[in-house]
Amino acid sequence: MKPFAFRLERLLKLRRQQVRERRRELGVVLSEERQFEEKCRVALEHLRRCQNQSSDGGEATIGAMRNRMLTTEAAEAVLNEARNKLSRVQERVLVCREAYQVAFRDAEVLEKLYRKNRESWKVELTREEQKELDRISQQIRSQRGDR
């Protein structure tokens, strides 16, 4: 019998490659998301320190108060920028995750078809082998009967 051949083999390989690419892209974006989450955490800690310094309650000159206020505003701006970037990255995560899921489903459909076809081929191969064994067995029996 001829060896197993899957007519959609090239398409299956392409789908597998797409899954790998989508997984890699998702990994990159998830890494970016973790980085921006860390930046937000650091910016929030910095803002809280600035706010705590502003509310120490000690007497301060107008210049010192103004510096604290400007520092706090700058920390708020940094935090807002980090949050905005995190939000954009999280949107990309959703898009990449969806693309990965679609690619995975497409590949999985072909994988199932491949397994089904391969199993059918194995069953047919076993049948043909059994037919050949039966033929040989019958031939041996008929030769013994001829003697």
With 0-12 / 13-18 / 19 or more C-beta atoms within 10 angstroms meaning exposed / middle / buried, residue 79 is: buried
pLDDT in tens, 43-70: 999 999 988 886 666 677 888 888 888 9
Query: Domain limits of the chain?
Result: 9-146
pTM score of the predicted model: 0.73
pLDDT in tens, 86-101: 999 999 999 999 999 9
Instruction: For 9-146, give the CATH class.
Output: mainly alpha
pLDDT of residue 54: 67
Q: Please report, for residues 14, 27, 86, 94, 122, the alpha-carbon distance to residue 83 in angstroms, rounded to integers and kept in the order given.
A: 37, 20, 5, 16, 57
